[in-house]
Amino acid sequence: MLICITMPVNKVPIEEFLELSRMHPVLDVRSPGEYQHAHIPAALSFPLFTNEERAVVGTLYKQRSREEAIKEGLDYFGPRMRPMVEHAEAILAGRTTKGRPPGKTLLVHCWRGGMRSGAVAWLLDLYGFDVYVLAGGYKSFRRWVLAQFEKEYPFKMLGGYTGSGKTEVLKELERRKEVVIDLEALAAHRGSAFGAFGQAEQPGQELFENLLAMQLNSALATGLPIWLEDESQRIGHINLPNAFWERMRKAPLYFLEVGFEQRLEHIVNGYGAFSREMLINAIIRIRKRLGPLETKTAINHLLEDNLKECFRILLWYYDKYYTRSLRQREQLDELLHSIPCEEVDAKANAEKVRALHQST
């Protein structure tokens, strides 16, 4: 909503834009609020308008005229032209590798690939930068994101009851050059009532999808199997996209068979350090499914500092829940590959997973 100028600036489709983004900075010229809601991973916030200014210009555009909106936008844009150029210079200088001069290429996008990105691209091009604008803006990126979830992928699922050390095994597989997407790391949540413990704030749904789509695209390009942890469709407040989750459910499942007592010990060691208040609140969140007697008993054990018996009740509950989910999976007999494991040992169990996968 600023100005429409014919410029010697390259407009490129999303696939080319993302390829260029591997080497050059991406400047998101939408408002800070739009960026905060969700953005292209690795893009930098480079707003043309503040949240308030965007609201004013948008209101003028809708209620008065395009021309009035452009004039108001120019009042905001004019005084910050030099600071924006200097900011762009600083961004490029910050990416300079030792012994090499700063690059000159910048990638720019707004919401639709229209006036905001056009105005900033014009300014940066005028100064002498090589500028590429995303055709269709962030909306075209979102269409690309949603399309990634419809693709076929060579998924390999890592399963196991709670406390089996699945996340640690995935990390070990990654260290051994396997292709891994850690859904819980992307969602900043471990997937249970206790899953937010020790985690950063979860991303919004849209940002999670953006992050996942980028990782899927990179993983698919390797041509190798893609390892994922067997998850429920919901991870905290994040929902895995339907088509993506359905493909997970139809993929081969490598299931870590770890004994109950070994898993219990692992859980106590992992969660026992958290405050009693946090643990009690988590138990209360599942009280309807856990049942009133088990909830009361688990909390009493906790108050008596008997962590092991408290978590024993919780582990029974989660085992029952996962067993039910397993039985609902179609063609389970064909998909399931059980892996007996003596201990919760990431290195040893990762090696067993790799050996079984190579033999099947």
Cβ contact 26:92 at 8 Å: no
Which helix (H) or strand (E) segment holds residue 217: the answer is helix 205-222
Annotated active-site residue in 4, 110, 310, 341: 110
Residue partners of 286: CB distance under 8 A and separation at least 6:
193, 295, 317
The residues with which 130 forms a beta bridge, in sequence order, are: 105
> How many whole angstroms separate alpha carbon 27 and alpha carbon 36?
14
> How many whole angstroms separate alpha carbon 140 and alpha carbon 134?
8
Cβ contact 88:124 at 8 Å: yes
Tokens of 282: 């988590």
Residue 277, exposed/middle/buried by CB under 10 A (0-12, 13-18, 19+)? exposed
Query: Which of 180, 173, 245 has the alpha carbon at shortest distance from 209?
Result: 245
Query: Is there a catalytic annotation at residue 110?
Result: yes
> How many whole angstroms separate alpha carbon 304 and alpha carbon 290?
20
Cβ contact 248:153 at 8 Å: no
* Catalytic site positions: 110
